[in-house]
Amino acid sequence: MTRVDHSPLADFGARTRLDGRRILVVGAGQGIGRQTAAALCQAGAQVMCCDIRRDLAEEVATEVGGIAWVGDATSREDVIRLVADADDALGGIDGFVDIIGMAHYGDAVAIDDQRLQWQFDIVLRHAILLTQHVGTAMAGTGGTMVFICSSAGLTAAPQTAAYGSAKAALISWIKSVADELGPSGIRANGVAPGMVWTPRVSGLIGQRGRTMVEDLTPLRRMAVPADIAAVALFLTSDLAAFVTGQTIVVDGGITNSFPYPMQQLAEVAGIAEPSG
């Protein structure tokens, strides 16, 4: 203590630890999910690695020291089974990180009913089901919910309008459930990445696309899955004990950039020296 501050110093190192906590990582099979499972395990949590593909769930669980679980999180029956299986294997649930999400690419006016339903299922439906069933299981003891959102839910999303709309709905969902579940000791937060160099994205855009993204990003690199997992770890830990209803943007600053070419416009207006 000091002469003017008599409060004890916090043990910030202890707040980073998750020893004994039982956490579900839904969509753990690769990319952000795999790194998140590793981060939570390294912090001391017991982690159930959940994926729709058995081979990926088992590989990641073996790699990080977790427990594999296989099922479809967009199915209410499977989410109910997940809660029961986690209770059997872990003795309860203290939190989850929901990674699931994928974008459909195409013109907004051309998306058909089947694709539209799929897009909202893969982005929003499972988040609602996890909130309902895992939230009920945690209501007596409290816990954490972390949802991987997207910067597409915060900005225009040309060619991915349905995806961006579903992610915007997810961000709104987080705010509402944080208010509703806060009195039960449950915190709900989101992480909104920009484009991340996951196995899926790397196969889609290749090195040329990566270079384009890096040139547009103020930090001059593209995010890797560990960047997103680190923020999911923070929101799960007691370092974020007073944070709820928030979505943290993790995009290297790309959505901060003013969209107009101000240097060039200033040159045209004669109020700046030519660049280069």
Q: Residue 59 CB: number of other CB atoms within 10 A?
A: 18
Nearest to 57 by CA among 38, 34, 35, 76: 34
What single-letter DSSP state applies at residue 183?
Answer: G
Query: Cα angle vertex 37, ends 19, 197, to 5°?
Result: 145
With beta carbons less than 8 A apart as the criterion, state whether 265 and 259 touch: no
Concerning whether 163 is annotated as a catalytic residue, the answer is yes
Which two structure tokens, joined as six digits, stand for 225? 């899955």
> Rounded to whole angstroms, how far apart are CA atoms 185 and 157?
35
Question: Active-site residue among 163, 173, 197, 234?
Answer: 163
With beta carbons less than 8 A apart as the criterion, state whether 17 and 46 touch: no
So which residues are the catalytic ones? 163
